[in-house]
């Protein structure tokens, strides 16, 4: 059997070898035709793009829009139209939404009757046309593209002449310190120069004839009441204005709340009235930032609507014998709308006030009411006029009991303005002219020297400039100054 199996194996061995050879060739061909795949490392994940953040552009309630009248308006009846332009650009966050120069429209909504007591007091002073209290309302803003933006506002009576009150530049440099007398003399000289330049600008103004006419009308016993061109109003927004939203990248918002550079100036408005009559040391005050603040890289540091918190450091109320008030404030903290707070050293650097307030600001931001130096001259002239009217003039047409027409006219003007002039020229009486002159002199003495002085009053929404100082300790600052002098 074994012999038979071996014989059979030898017979099929070539077939088996041929079968193995064919299988090998087929496998090799299949392997050569199969595609080759290389193993790749996975790509690094792509860096995600920062998602822009939407910022709502909303003007909040009580934000004032400062408006200046573009033409004279008569206060006679309700419904009289008024028109003006926006004085200061209004910002929402970091973007201007209402540009300066935009037209604002409104109307006179109320003309109140004059109370009987005030009318009687005015008539006693030869004023038969006392001014009426009035209310103006602005209801529409015309943007530069012609869009009509309806607004709802609360408007206080306007201010006729607004000036920018700025702190006096310090004259102390290094060791060359000026004496108190020298600084006082320099301050008074500067006041005289400022007054001269204001009068000169008034004379050269294109509206000088209107100014002269308004002055003559103010001396008349009967006159119409007008709001002159340029009268300023603060129109507080009652309903928030929504201007949509703006997108800002996170890197554009990363500098918010960082340190404000020294010597920066923040534009703001007072959140409430500050007066030397009611304030006392450490009374809190607040101002609202009206313009965004950027750093040297034009990155936003402080957004509009941020709050400046401070306090009163000195307040002296006005007193008798014409002692005027004084006020000094500092700002110690600024808080962004997001709640980020930082300490600052801020002093009052400037403010928009009425010219009639007669306020001055010293080198450190202290504000005080000053008296016009011409009060000595006007009071002295009033007394001299009264004395001249009382002496009479023997050469006058009425004899010793009469008065010179010129002296009588001056006495009448001193007492009752144009009405007094007319009466003096009509009566030709020394006694009558003496009474008018004496009344004018007494009134001048009381008003300029004996009456209660004026308080420093910074109304709500007053536009102010806050100067940011160096926050380092005083010793470090002094050391730095000494090292600068040595070098």
Q: For 181-194, how does the pLDDT look when each residue is reduced to its tens digit (9 = 90+)? A: 555 555 555 555 55
pLDDT of residue 174: 41
pLDDT tier at 282 (50, 70, 90 boundaries)?
very high
Where does the pLDDT of residue 65 fall: very low under 50, low under 70, confident under 90, or very high at 90 and above?
Answer: very high
Per-residue pLDDT tens digits for 22-59: 555 555 454 444 444 444 445 555 555 568 888 999 99
Model pLDDT for residues 94-148, shown as the tens digit of each residue: 999 999 999 999 999 999 999 988 888 788 777 788 889 999 999 999 988 888 9
Q: What does the alpha-carbon distance between residue 360 and residue 351 come to, in Å, rounded to a whole number?
A: 10
The predicted structure's pLDDT at residue 121:
79
Q: Are 363 and 169 in contact (CB under 8 A)?
A: yes
pLDDT band at 377 (very low <50, low <70, confident <90, very high): confident
SS3 238: coil
User: Rounded distance, CA 261 to CA 7, Å?
Assistant: 109
Instruction: Tell me what the mean pLDDT of segment 63-71 comes to.
Output: 94
| Interatomic CA distance for residues 258 and 249, integer angstroms | 17
Residue 448, pLDDT score: 85
- Among candidates 309, 318, 210, which has minimal Cα distance to 268? 309
Q: For residues 63 and 234, what is the distance between their CA atoms, to the nearest angstrom?
A: 9
**Which of 248-262, 381-395, 473-487 reaches the highest mean pLDDT?**
248-262
Judge whether 421 and 428 are in contact, CB under 8 Å. no
Give 191's Cβ-side CA count (13 Å radius). 17
Q: Is 263 helix (H, G, I), strand (E, B) or coil?
A: coil
**Chain segment 418-446, per-residue pLDDT in tens:** 777 777 778 777 788 888 888 888 888 88
pLDDT of residue 25: 52
**Do residues 291 and 331 touch, judged by C-beta distance below 8 A?**
no
Joined together, the tokens standing for residue 373 give 């130096």
Whether 318 has a pLDDT exceeding 90, the answer reads yes
Has residue 205 got a pLDDT over 70?
A: no
Q: Hunting for tokens 């004085």 — which residue is that?
A: 87
Mean pLDDT calculated for residue range 228-253: 91
pLDDT of residue 9: 52
pLDDT tops 90 at residue 154: yes
Pick the CATH number of 58-171+225-246 from 1.10.645.10, 2.40.128.260, 3.30.465.10, 2.40.10.220: 2.40.128.260
- In whole angstroms, what is the distance from residue 178 CA to residue 322 CA? 29
Q: How far apart are CA 272 and CA 231, in angstroms?
A: 22
321 Ramachandran zone, left/alpha/beta (phi>0; psi -120 to 50): left
Which one is predicted more confidently, 316 or 485?
A: 316
Domain locations in the chain as residue ranges: 58-171+225-246, 249-358+454-475, 374-450
pLDDT at position 156: 83
Above 90 in pLDDT, residue 8? Answer: no
Contact by Cβ (8 Å): 138, 233: yes
82 or 427: whose pLDDT is higher? 82
Q: 86 near 102, Cβ under 8 Å? A: yes
Q: What percent of the chain has pLDDT over 90?
A: 38
- Considering only the C-alpha atoms of the chain, give the largest distance between any 2 of them, rounded to a whole number of Å: 187
| pLDDT, mean of residues 250-277 | 90
Q: In CATH terms, are 58-171+225-246 and 249-358+454-475 the same topology?
A: yes
Judged by average pLDDT, the poorest of 95-109, 159-173, 452-466 is: 159-173
SS3 content of the chain, % helix, strand, coil (to 5): 35, 30, 35
How many whole angstroms separate alpha carbon 303 and alpha carbon 339? 12
CATH architecture of the domain covering 249-358+454-475? Beta Barrel (2.40)
**Residue 249, pLDDT score:** 86
Over residues 456-460, mean pLDDT: 94
DSSP assigned state of 448:
I
pLDDT for residue 430: 78
């Amino acid at each position: 059997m074994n012999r038979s199996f071996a014989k059979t194996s030898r017979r099929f061995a070539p077939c088996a070898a041929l079968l193995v050879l064919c299988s090998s060739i087929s496998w090799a061909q299949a392997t050569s035709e199969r595609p080759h795949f290389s193993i790749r490392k996975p790509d690094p994940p792509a860096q995600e793009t920062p998602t822009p953040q939407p910022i709502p552009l909303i003007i909040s309630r009580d934000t004032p829009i400062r408006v200046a009248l573009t033409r004279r308006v008569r206060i006679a009846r309700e419904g009289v139209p008024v028109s003006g332009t926006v004085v200061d650009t209004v910002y929402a966050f970091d973007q201007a939404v209402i540009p300066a120069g935009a037209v604002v429209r409104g109307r006179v909504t109320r003309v109140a009757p004059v109370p009987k007591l005030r009318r009687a007091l005015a008539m006693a002073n030869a004023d038969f046309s006392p001014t009426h209290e009035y209310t103006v309302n602005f209801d529409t803003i015309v943007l530069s593209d012609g869009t009509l933006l309806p607004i709802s506002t609360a408007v206080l009576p306007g201010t006729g002449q607004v000036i920018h009150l700025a702190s006096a530049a310090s004259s102390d440099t290094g060791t060359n310190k000026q004496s108190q007398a020298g600084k006082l003399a320099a301050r008074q000289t500067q006041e005289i120069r400022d007054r001269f330049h204001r009068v000169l600008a008034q004379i050269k103004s294109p509206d000088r004839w209107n100014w002269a006419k308004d002055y003559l009308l103010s001396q008349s016993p009967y006159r119409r009441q007008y709001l002159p061109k340029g009268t300023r109003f603060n129109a507080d927004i009652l309903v928030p204005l929504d201007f949509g939203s703006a997108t800002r990248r996170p890197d554009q918002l990363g500098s918010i709340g960082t340190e404000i550079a020294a010597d920066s100036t923040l534009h703001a408005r007072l959140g409430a009235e500050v007066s030397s009559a009611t304030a006392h040391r450490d009374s809190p005050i607040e101002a609202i930032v009206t313009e965004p603040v950027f750093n040297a890289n034009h990155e936003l540091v402080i957004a509009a609507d941020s709050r400046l918190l401070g306090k009163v450091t000195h307040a002296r109320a006005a007193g008798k014998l014409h002692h005027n008030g004084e006020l000094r404030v500092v700002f110690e903290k600024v808080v962004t709308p997001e709640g980020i707070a930082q300490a600052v050293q801020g002093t009052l650097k400037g403010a928009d006030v009425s010219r009639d307030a007669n306020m001055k600001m010293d080198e450190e931001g202290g504000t005080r009411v000053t008296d016009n130096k011409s009060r000595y001259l006007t009071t002295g002239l009033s007394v001299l006029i009264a004395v001249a009217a009382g002496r009479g003039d023997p050469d006058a047409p009425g004899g010793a009991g009469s008065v010179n027409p010129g002296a009588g006219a001056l006495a009448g003007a001193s007492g009752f303005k144009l009405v007094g002039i007319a009466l003096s020229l009509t009566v030709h009486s020394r006694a009558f002219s003496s009474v008018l002159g004496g009344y004018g002199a007494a009134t001048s003495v009381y008003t300029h020297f004996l009456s209660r002085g004026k308080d420093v009053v910074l109304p709500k929404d007053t536009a102010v400039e806050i100067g940011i100082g160096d926050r380092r300790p005083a010793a470090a600052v002094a050391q730095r100054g000494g090292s600068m002098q040595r070098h």
